[in-house]
Amino acid sequence: MPGPHEERPARRRTRDPGAGGRAQRPEVPFPAGLPEKPTGRNLREGGTSGASPGCWATGEDASDRLRAAWSQPSGAPACGAGLPHPAPPPREPPLVPPLVPPRHPCPWHYLRLSGSLESLAPTCFKAKLHRKSGGSTPDMASAPAMAGRTPGELGGGTYTYTSRPRAVPCQRRRYREDPLQPSEESMHYGNIMYDRRVIRGNTYALPTGTLPGQPDLLDLQRQQMARRRALARKRAQERLRPRTPEPVEGRKHVDVQTELYLEELADRIIEVDMECQTDAFLDRPPTPLFIPAKTGRDVATQILEGELFDFDLEVKPMLEVLVGKTVEQALLEVMEEEELANLRASQHTYAEIRNVELAEVQRLEEQERRHREEKERRKQQQWDIVNKHNETAQKISARVFAQRYLADLLPSVFGSLRDSGYFYDPVERDIEVGFLPWLMYEVEKTMEYNMVGRTVLDMLIREVVEKRLDQYEQRSLVPGPGRPGHPEAVREPLVGFQLPSDPNLSQRAAYSRAPQPQDRRFLGLDE
């Protein structure tokens, strides 16, 4: 027992300062197997008085923790790393079991204060129960508060908690409580919902509980009283329970196992964590070839000629196939060809018949055509004849009618013609046309000559008279030359003399011509 005492401080020194609050209470009630139960209990009791057998959060048991605590805590959780843990006044239990450093550093442990470590672990409950000094309850109550408050106390750090998820270990007791060792009232289940250590309510304003160093006396007292009462109740009940009688004088009760094989009795189920890891960088080696083991027996034999192979036998299937297939194929082909030939033959027959029929049809058609043509021709002929006949009749009738109609046309025509003078005597006509007009013309001319002569004569006379008159006048006026009128007068007679001077000239022409120029001259003269 003193050993652990010594060890503890030493261990504390070796421990990480950051882990100051760590399991300072090392408490493994059973370092290396319980020697016997009562002592173990004692141990436990003693140990748990101030020890936390196992970390509740990490699930390690006290032994582990104690064991781990020996090694340097490596990889200490970062939570609260920056937090310098204050060195709370440790609650030194009177009895300190051999200290084994916990193997698994648990963040809870970091935050845990010395006095409250055991209370945080489930086994801490047991420790708490066994501890007579009390104060665990307040510890329990205050632990979370303290734990929560620690950072606040320290000044401004954030509260973090991380833990590896762990299953809640079974806390079922195997054996009932020793009557001499009444158990404290405690909560046997690990349900978080009913854990008084879990803070409920708002977390931003933490209740200002009692300081760790100054527990609320009133609360403490009340709790102690309650506990005592409960214990008393329990004790009373225990006494009523029948127990094994006390050992007789000089004897001692000993627990003995009656089974074949001894079994180590332990309340706590030994849990062992095992880890395994494969080498990450090693390639899987190729699978070895599977060569099955040789089974069976080796037997040797010799084959003589003719034993393996019998030609007739072997060739039979071949022959069967050959012949069978040949026959089958031949049959098929023959049938096919036959069918085709049949088809062709029937085709030809049909074509033949058709040809014959076609020829017949053609012949008949030809005949028919000829008949028809003949008929047509005859009909046409007949028609023509009839037409002609009709025409002729019509012509005849027309002619007759015309004849009759124009019967008296001729005489009337002749009559009218005669009347219009188309039939004339040519001599008469000639006389009429030719002679008589000439005669008339001649007569007219002669008469005209006469007239002209008379006219000329008249003019002559008039001229002469006028001249005479003029002359008389002139003579009367001027017995002068009336020569200007003389040439004319001379001329006149010339002219007038001319007239009869050439009577041999075409009389008619003279007659016709002379008066006319004379007339003109005379007239001109006159004018």
Partner 1 sequence: MPLPDTMFCAQQIHIPPELPDLLKQFTKAAIRTQPADVLQWSAGYFSALSRGDPLPVKDRIEMPVATQKTDTGLTQGLLKVLHKQCGHKEFVELDDLEKKWKNLCLPVEKFRALLLLDPCTKRIEWMKFLALGCSTLGGSLITAMKHLCEILTKDPEGGPARIPFETFSYVYRYLANLDPSISSSEMESYLASLKGNVEARKNGMIGLSDFFVQKRKL
Pull the structure tokens for residue 416: 């009218």
Shortest CB 331 distance to partner 1, Å: 6
CB nearer to partner 1: pick between 323 and 457: 323
CB nearer to partner 1: pick between 156 and 317: 317
> 26 has which bridge partners?
52
Distance CA 502, CA 361 (A): 121
Q: Fill in the DSSP letter of residue 380.
A: H
Shortest CB 285 distance to partner 1, Å: 44
CB nearer to partner 1: pick between 189 and 350: 350
CB nearer to partner 1: pick between 332 and 523: 332
Q: Which amino acid belongs to residue 331?
A: L
Pull the structure tokens for residue 340: 């085709």
Residue 121 near residue 53 (C-beta atoms within 8 A): yes
Tell me if 315 contacts partner 1 by CB under 8 A.
Answer: yes
Distance CA 127, CA 55 (A): 12
Tell me the CA distances in angstroms from 248 to 36, 37, 244, 251, 253, one per residue in order: 21, 21, 11, 5, 9
Q: What is the 3-state secondary structure (H, E, C) of 418-442?
A: HHHCCCCCHHHHHHHHHHHHHHHHH
CB nearer to partner 1: pick between 325 and 375: 325
Tell me if 221 contacts partner 1 by CB under 8 A.
Answer: no
* Stretch of 111-119, 267-275, 306-314, 442-450 lying at the interface with partner 1 (CB under 8 A): 306-314
Shortest CB 390 distance to partner 1, Å: 47
Is residue 106 classed as helix, strand or coil in its secondary structure?
Answer: coil
Shortest CB 321 distance to partner 1, Å: 10
Q: Please, what sign has the CA dihedral across residues 500, 506, 512, 516?
A: negative
Shortest CB 374 distance to partner 1, Å: 23
Tell me if 396 contacts partner 1 by CB under 8 A.
Answer: no
Shortest CB 369 distance to partner 1, Å: 19
Q: Which of 308, 410, 477, 478 binds partner 1 (CB under 8 A)?
A: 308
CB nearer to partner 1: pick between 168 and 332: 332
Tell me if 314 contacts partner 1 by CB under 8 A.
Answer: yes
CB nearer to partner 1: pick between 1 and 323: 323
Shortest CB 385 distance to partner 1, Å: 38
User: How would you label 130-139 residue by residue, b for 16+ Cβ within 10 Å and e otherwise?
Assistant: bbeebbbbbb
Q: Which of 275, 305, 408, 419 binds partner 1 (CB under 8 A)?
A: 305
Shortest CB 307 distance to partner 1, Å: 10
Q: Which amino acid belongs to residue 475?
A: R
CB nearer to partner 1: pick between 10 and 330: 330
Residues 343-362: x where in contact with partner 1 by CB under 8 A, - otherwise, as a string: -xxxxxxxxx--xx------
Tell me if 367 contacts partner 1 by CB under 8 A.
Answer: no
Q: Which amino acid belongs to residue 154?
A: L
Shortest CB 365 distance to partner 1, Å: 17
Is residue 382 classed as helix, strand or coil in its secondary structure?
Answer: helix
Tell me if 304 contacts partner 1 by CB under 8 A.
Answer: no
CA 272, 273, 278 angle in degrees (round to 5)? Answer: 140
Q: Which amino acid belongs to residue 2?
A: P
**Could you say which residues in the range 434-493 bind partner 1, by CB under 8 A?**
none
Tell me the CA distances in angstroms from 38 to 20, 129, 177, 254, one per residue in order: 32, 15, 11, 11
Is residue 523 classed as helix, strand or coil in its secondary structure?
Answer: helix
Shortest CB 282 distance to partner 1, Å: 52
Shortest CB 367 distance to partner 1, Å: 16
In 3D, which of 34, 38, 40 has the Cα closest to residue 180? 38
Question: Tokens 């094994």, residue?
Answer: 244
Shortest CB 364 distance to partner 1, Å: 16
Residue 119 near residue 143 (C-beta atoms within 8 A): yes
| Cβ neighbours around 146 below 10 Å, total | 21
CB nearer to partner 1: pick between 271 and 357: 357
**Could you say which residues in the range 246-265 bind partner 1, by CB under 8 A?**
none
Question: Tokens 């006159």, residue?
Answer: 526
First vs last C-alpha separation in the chain = 212
Residue 80 near residue 16 (C-beta atoms within 8 A): no
Number of residues that bind partner 1 (CB under 8 A): 31
CB nearer to partner 1: pick between 338 and 368: 338
Q: Which amino acid belongs to residue 12?
A: R
**Could you say which residues in the range 317-346 bind partner 1, by CB under 8 A?**
317-318, 322-323, 325-327, 329-331, 333-334, 338, 341, 344-346
CB nearer to partner 1: pick between 17 and 306: 306
* Stretch of 192-200, 287-295, 310-318, 483-491 lying at the interface with partner 1 (CB under 8 A): 310-318
Tell me if 311 contacts partner 1 by CB under 8 A.
Answer: yes
Shortest CB 310 distance to partner 1, Å: 10
Give residues in contact with partner 1 (CB under 8 A). 305, 308-309, 311, 314-315, 317-318, 322-323, 325-327, 329-331, 333-334, 338, 341, 344-352, 355-356
